[in-house]
């Protein structure tokens, strides 16, 4: 399950040296955090090491969510889970913390969307570090339940991800706007 998910994970490298994460959906849709894709010239590093400049970047700054287009093989795509997560569910945070390359950490859903005051945010205790932003939060079947967004600076073990339902709404909205 993790090996398959790893085939759809990418690293984001900016001209300033900042690093982040992203993941691929069908049709070459790249999902990442907005703060990774909007502030700098960025390069997407695919799992095979090849690099691409993302095209057609669209952002939702309120959600800190961005999507773009890259060229991929069909077997590199992840799937968004349509069902909401449940409290205590096991999840894995995938990303590129500190530019170290792909890593996975395991945790649970420690608060469901809405419990933290924002309907689109999932709280998790999976370890999240600088560079994990934009990475995938997946379930035990390898489906995306969220996009890693942020962690608290106070305390430990409290991270947040934008829910797969919010991501799906954004992707659908963009698909409708395409010519």
Name the pTM for this structure.
0.91
Task: Give the strand pairing for 121-124 and 103-111.
Answer: antiparallel
pLDDT at 69 over 80: yes
* Catalytic residue status for 35: yes
CA dist., res. 177 & res. 85, Å (int): 29
Domain annotation covers residue 133: yes
Residue 142 to residue 175: CA distance in whole angstroms? 24
Beta bridge partners of 51: 45
**Contact partners, residue 175, CB within 8 Å, separation at least 6:** none
Number of domains within the chain: 2
Per-residue pLDDT band at 12 (split at 50, 70, 90): very high
Q: Does the annotation mark 50 as catalytic?
A: no
Q: If you average pLDDT over residues 73-83, what whole number do you get?
A: 90
Q: Are residues 118 and 69 in the same domain?
A: no
**Which of 4, 12, 20 shows the shortest CA–CA distance to 70?**
12
What is each CA distance from 120 to 12, 19, 105, 145, 178, in whole angstroms? 23, 24, 22, 11, 24
Q: Provide the mean pLDDT of the chain.
A: 88
* Proportion of the chain above pLDDT 70, given as a percent: 91
Residue 177: the pLDDT is 55
pLDDT of 179 = 47
| CATH classification of the domain holding 117 | 2.40.10.10
> Which is catalytic among the residues 21, 32, 64, 163?
64
Does any domain span residue 83?
no
User: What average pLDDT score do residues 4-30 get?
Assistant: 92
Question: Of these residues, 32, 133, 149, 163, which one is catalytic?
Answer: 133
**Residue 165: pLDDT above 80?**
yes
Q: Are residues 61 and 15 in the same domain?
A: yes
pLDDT by residue (tens digit) across 151-162?
Answer: 765 667 789 999
Q: Of these residues, 11, 35, 149, 163, which one is catalytic?
A: 35
Examine the domain organization and report whether 103 and 152 are in the same domain.
yes
125 catalytic? Reply is no
């Amino acid at each position: 399950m993790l090996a398959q998910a790893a085939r759809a994970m990418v690293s984001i490298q900016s001209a300033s040296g900042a690093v982040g994460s992203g993941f691929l959906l069908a049709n070459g849709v790249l999902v990442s955090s907005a703060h990774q894709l909007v502030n700098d010239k960025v390069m997407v590093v695919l799992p095979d090491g090849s690099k691409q400049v993302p095209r057609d970047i669209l952002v939702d700054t309120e959600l800190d969510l961005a999507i773009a287009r890259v060229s991929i093989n069909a077997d590199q795509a992840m799937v968004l889970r349509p069902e909401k997560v449940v409290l205590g569910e096991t999840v894995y945070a995938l990303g590129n913390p500190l530019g170290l390359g792909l890593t996975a950490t395991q945790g649970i859903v420690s608060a469901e969307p809405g419990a933290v005051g924002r309907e689109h945010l999932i709280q998790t205790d999976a370890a999240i570090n600088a560079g994990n932003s934009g990475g995938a939060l997946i379930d035990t079947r390898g489906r995306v339940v969220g996009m890693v967004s942020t962690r608290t600076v106070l305390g430990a073990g409290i991270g947040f991800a934008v829910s797969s339902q919010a991501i799906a709404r954004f992707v659908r909205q963009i698909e409708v706007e395409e010519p």
